[in-house]
Structure 1
Amino acid sequence: MAVAWLKVLKAVPWSEVIAAAPQVANGARKLWDTVGRKGAPQAGIDDAAMAPMPRGEDGMALLAAHIEQQDATIAQMHGQLREASKLIAELADQNAQLIARMEAARGRIQVVGLIAAGAGVLGFVSLALVLART
């Protein structure tokens, strides 16, 4: 199972992901600013508007009640949209931070790899010298 994950991670174009991270974060911030700035629409919602109207009323009263219910639904959906865009902005910021940390870790792993390769070469040379003396 670990081999499958390694194949997937190797297939990811990390340079493109790292290059696109700031654009994703900026786009999410713009979305949050756009949606957050608008505010929730004022629907004038009250409990009487949500209650079903009796059938005996004329068509205009039923239509008005239906419109008020739709306004309430739109206001609720707008609130959900604001929450979703805030979440997207937070996730984009976390993604940018994660990518920066992964890039730093990749650099540290390269340094450790170079040190390990140097130690391996030094060990091999030492072994060759010891065997040459005996």
Structure 2
Amino acid sequence: MAIWITALKIIPWGSVLESAPHIVKAAKQVFSAAKSDSSGFADASSSPVGDGSVNPDKLDKRVRLLEAKIIELSNEQRASAELIKSLAEQNALVVEAIEVFRVRVKILLIACISLVGVLAGVVFWLATK
């Protein structure tokens, strides 16, 4: 149990807490953008291009809607990339803290084994005296 407490002390919680609102905000933006339905885009894409009647106004509207959707998707992709980068940085901090724990646990294990050996030697020495 003490290992977890030590692990929690090593993690730079200031950085984690400072980054958390940005991560949550970015995640909300990504998910809300993904959930939002572009009804104009759906209307423009519902009629096929090759339906026999080529209306330049409809085609122009569809092209503008498609361009807007491409820009929107590009922005979502950029936001997702920023979110992933932020999460990767936080993950790196956690991995670094775990590595420090691993080294400390190994040192503590060696120290405990050494102390048990010394204690056994002292007990043996006192028993033979």
TM range (shorter): 0.5 to 0.7
2:80 is aligned with 1:84: yes
Q: Which residue does 1:93 correspond to in 2?
A: 89
Q: Which residue does 2:55 correspond to in 1?
A: 59
Which 4+ runs in 1 deviate beyond 6 A? none
Ranked by relative contact order (alpha carbons within 8 Å, sequence separation 6 or more), the top structure is 2
In structure 1, stretches of 5+ residues that fail to align are 1-49
Counterparts of 1:74 and 1:102, CA distance in 2:
41
The alignment of Structure 1 onto Structure 2 pairs a total of residues equal to: 82
Counterparts of 1:58 and 1:132, CA distance in 2:
106
How far did 1:90 drift?
A: 0.7
Q: Which amino acid aligns with 2:115?
A: A
% of aligned pairs identical? 17
Q: Of 60, 64, 68, which residue of structure 1 is paired with 2:64?
A: 68
Counterparts of 1:132 and 1:80, CA distance in 2:
77
TM-score by length of 2: 0.55
Report the RMSD for the aligned CA atoms in angstroms. 2.3
User: What does the per-residue CA deviation read over 1:60-100, in whole Å, with 9 as the maximum and x for residues that have no partner?
Assistant: 11111111111121111111101100011111211221222
**Pairing 1:1-134 to 2, within 5 Å after superposition:** 50=40, 59-133=55-129
How far did 1:131 drift?
A: 2.1
Counterparts of 1:111 and 1:117, CA distance in 2:
10
Counterparts of 2:67 and 2:115, CA distance in 1:
71
TM-score by length of 1: 0.53
How far did 1:58 drift?
A: 5.8
Q: Which amino acid aligns with 2:92?
A: A
Q: Which residue does 1:43 correspond to in 2?
A: none
